[in-house]
Structures are given as structure tokens and as C-alpha cells.
Amino acid sequence: MKVIITHAGSRQAFDVINILKREYGLETILFSKPGKTLYLSLVYRQKVNRLDCEMYENFRADFEKVLNRYKGEKLYYMAISEKATLHFYDYVKERPSTNISYLLPEKEVFELTRNKDEFQQFCEMNRLPVPRSYDKMGVEELAASFNPVVAKKKIGAGSMGMKYVETKDQIHLLDDINYDSYLIQEKIESSQNIHGGFFLSEKGKVHVYHGHFRIRTFPENGGVTVFSKADLNEELKSIGTKVLKKLNWSGFAMIEFMFDQNSKEWKIIELNPRLWGSVMLSEFCNSSMLINYVRLCQGKPLRKKRVATDRYIRWFFPFEIVSFLKGRLGLTDFFNIQNDKTCYINFTYSGWGAALLYLLYFTFNGNSISRFFKKIFP
């Protein structure tokens, strides 16, 4: 039994690989972009294969070269990277008799959810609760009837590139917005932190769910989650279940919610169609999300455990350290370490040697350095 993991250099892949290998004894077939495979092979102590995702033909050649070694074996694909997964759809369409099992929605649905604007329209059409969206004409009318808004890239980017218009005199920040690339939404006024709902479903039926709510982000406004607590919010589970049923969703999904203080209801912010950065908490709180994915692919009964809501996840290095050094995180909070109830991204399910080697890779490659400085100096 072997699990295929693409984009092995990503931080969620690092945690996924360690959980699969150390907690469940599963073998993995690893891929990463060209130029990164040798160092990552040292990190994982196994061969990491090149996978060029720039064009489908390159992906197919690299992917098939490796998979030819495993003919006759049962393999399982997990969606780590959106770009690789889009190529994977085309690959299995060409080879319907492949020996790879997987849980994914239809390709058109996958593409719909990764485009924030198309997903917004889908939710509006199905009367699912989302923030109000603005087209170009609607933005022009904001001067007369102002509401705070946020502009976000339609595809990818996370918090990068987001523009916040908090006051009427900031509307000019949207003057150069490319409406083909950006979605404009009302900014939700909320006294509660952002909640995430994490789902594993098959053909629209939810099998596994847990949630978390953000306690700290970096940077504070619209940044990545660096400290969260697990929870079980039945209202969010109900909303998310409706979304996934309408999409006839199979596989992993992370749905982000915010509570709208004005309308007194939860609003759907976005849906992430692949494994998420805080996936470690899904294991640490006993949801057994990863092994249950494999068991669903096998048609076996799922592992059912009571989800522990007194569990936390921290991204200690580098962001919490930077927050502490900049005086934005107090001494008490910084050293409030509860190892029995807290998991640490890139550390908890890894040996120290592999963790340090990976942190060197993640911290000092060009893309990470660029993202890091954009978060510190937005």
C-alpha cells in the first residue's frame, strides 16, 4: 500500500508524509518540482522524484516514468497541490484502468471551488450564505453608500495581494484593480475569529468532520494561522455539509467561515479543495482524516474516535518568534507551551533531524523568503 504525494516540499506535505509513515506505517511515493529533489531526498530519507507541472506533457512523462515501477500494486493519490491535481485529472482520464485509487470531485467542480469568484456565484445561486460581492459598477457606487470591502485574488495567493478598503477615502485603492483577476467582497464585521471546517466526504456524503478557530495570525490582519484550537461547531458542519452535497464532493475540503455581526449568521469565505496547512491538527485531535481517506478508497470501515476539542496547533517558527521579537506577542503567551495538548507544525510528527533539515529548506528557498518579507512588510 503506497500513497502518492506531489509537491513534497510544501509544509503540509511534510506533515502528511510524516503522519502516514510514522503513525500508520504506510509507504509513500514522493514527487517535487525539478531542482528540489536531491535535498528533499535527504530530508525524507527516501527518493523524491522530479515532477514538472508546467505543462501536462511534462507531468505525464515524469509521473508515468515513476509509476511504471509499481505496475500491479495498489496506489493512492492525495491532493496536495492544485496544479498537479489538475494534471492528474487528465492523466486518469487517459488511463481509466489505472491502478491508482483516489477521492476527488469532478474536475469542473474542483476548478469551480479553486476560483473564488466562480465559487461565490455558485453559493449565491444556491442561496448559501456568503458575503456580498461587488462588480465594477457596484464598486463605483460605494462612494455613495459605503461599506468596507476586501479585494482578493480569484485563484490562489492566500492572503498575498489582498487589499482592504476600510474607509470611504480608501476607495482609490481599487482604481487599478483587474476585475478579471480579483473578487471584491464586503468585509465581514465580526467579533469572533475565523473558523475552519475540515471535511472528508464521498459523493456528497460527509464521513469525517472537525473544525478549528484561529487564535492568532501573522500578520494580524488577514495573515496565515499560527495558533488555533480544535472545535466541533454543529452549525458550521451543517452549512458545510449542504455545500458539499450540492457539489457532490469527494475527498478533502476545507471551508472557511466568519460570523457576520450585522446579519447574525455565519458566512462562507472560501473552499480549499486540497489538503490544508494545518492538517496536522486533524490527526492530533483524533479525526484520523488521513487514514480514513485511504480506508474510504479501500472500501473499509472508518476509524471512529471522539474528536478532542482541547487540542491546539502552533506555527512556532518563524512567525510566532517574529511576533514576539516585534513586541506583538507577550511573554506569557509566547511561553505558554502545553506539549500534551499542542502540536507544532513541522515538528510534532517528525524526528528532530528531518525537521531541522526541512526548516532549512523551507526557510531559505527563494519563494519562502519572498513570501516571508511580504508578510512582514505588506
Q: 267 - beta bridge partners?
A: 258
Same domain, 330 and 228: yes
Same domain, 173 and 73: no
Q: What is the pLDDT of residue 375?
A: 47
Same domain, 176 and 223: no
Contact 133, 185 (CB under 8 A): yes
Same domain, 181 and 199: no
Same domain, 244 and 167: no
Domain-located, residue 321: yes
Residues 6+ apart with CB under 8 A from 338: 312
Same domain, 93 and 142: no
Q: What is the pLDDT of residue 168?
A: 87
Mean pLDDT of 82-101: 94
In whole angstroms, what is the distance from residue 356 CA to residue 113 CA?
35
Half-sphere exposure of 153 (CA within 13 A, CB side): 9
Q: 272 - beta bridge partners?
A: 254
Total number of domains in the chain: 3
Above pLDDT 90, what percent of the chain?
66
Same domain, 9 and 91: yes
Q: What is the pLDDT of residue 319?
A: 78
- Indicate the SS3 state at residue 57: helix
Greatest mean pLDDT among 142-146, 247-251, 316-320, 340-344: 247-251
Mean pLDDT of 155-161: 69
Same domain, 234 and 332: yes
9-23, 232-246, 275-289, 325-339: segment of lowest average pLDDT: 325-339
Helices (runs of H) and strands (runs of E) counted in the chain: 15, 16
Contact 66, 32 (CB under 8 A): no
Same domain, 214 and 319: yes
Domain-located, residue 272: yes
Domain-located, residue 127: no
Q: What is the pLDDT of residue 378?
A: 52
Q: What is the pLDDT of residue 367?
A: 60
104-118, 159-173, 255-269, 362-376: segment of lowest average pLDDT: 362-376
Q: What is the pLDDT of residue 89?
A: 98
Same domain, 200 and 182: no
pLDDT digits (tens, 9 = 90+) for 255-287: 999 999 989 999 999 999 999 999 999 999 999
In whole angstroms, what is the distance from residue 90 CA to residue 88 CA?
5
In whole angstroms, what is the distance from residue 185 CA to residue 172 CA?
16
Same domain, 228 and 341: yes
- Of 220 and 35, more confident: 35
Same domain, 199 and 342: yes
Domain-located, residue 356: no
Domain-located, residue 85: yes
Question: Domain of 28: which CATH number?
Answer: 3.40.50.720
Domain-located, residue 119: no
Cell 490562489 belongs to residue: 156
Read off the pLDDT band of 191 (50, 70, 90): low
- Indicate the SS3 state at residue 338: coil
Contact 200, 289 (CB under 8 A): yes
Domain that holds residue 6: 2-102
Domain-located, residue 14: yes
Q: What is the pLDDT of residue 309?
A: 96
